[in-house]
Amino acid sequence: EIVLTQSPGTLSLSPGERATLSCRASQSVSRSYLAWYQQRPGQAPRLLMYGASSRATGIPDRFRGSGSGTDFTLTISRLEPEDFAMYYCQHFGSSPPMYTFGQGTKLEMK
């Protein structure tokens, strides 16, 4: 079973700054099955990226996903106030077939 470890646990930045969030898999995974979600307080999660680097519908281009193998990154180029939230990476593994989430990174306003 693949384990996803996100870092840092908490990231404190200011609006306008660049955020870099990491998701590391316990073994090499297909980038086709790596996704990122944003969850604002009191809201349901929202799909940001799928296939590691494809933006979901309506996601602004300041969000960028990258990576391969065991290391994946979500970059937010210029933080807006609405970007301060929890972020989760997710992977689908086929043996056994199951979805796994990372523990999350909290992006908080400094």
Partner 1 sequence: EVQLVESGGGLVQPGSSLRLSCAASGFTFDDYPMHWVRQVPGKGLEWVSSISRRTDSVGYADSVKGRFTISRDNAKNSLYLQLNNVTAEDTALYYCAKGLGNYWYGSDFDYWGLGTLVTVSS
Give the binding site for partner 1 (CB under 8 A): 32-33, 35, 37, 39, 44-47, 50, 56-57, 88, 90, 92, 94, 97-104
- Return all residues near 78 (Cβ < 8 A) that are at least 6 apart: 16, 17, 18, 62
CB of 20 to partner 1, least distance (A): 20
Cβ proximity to partner 1, 34 vs 76, nearer residue: 34
CB of 45 to partner 1, least distance (A): 6
- Return all residues near 48 (Cβ < 8 A) that are at least 6 apart: 35, 36, 37, 38, 55, 56, 59, 63, 65, 74, 87
Number of alpha carbons in the 13 Å side-chain half-sphere of residue 42: 0
CB of 17 to partner 1, least distance (A): 25
Cβ proximity to partner 1, 32 vs 78, nearer residue: 32
Cβ proximity to partner 1, 98 vs 109, nearer residue: 98
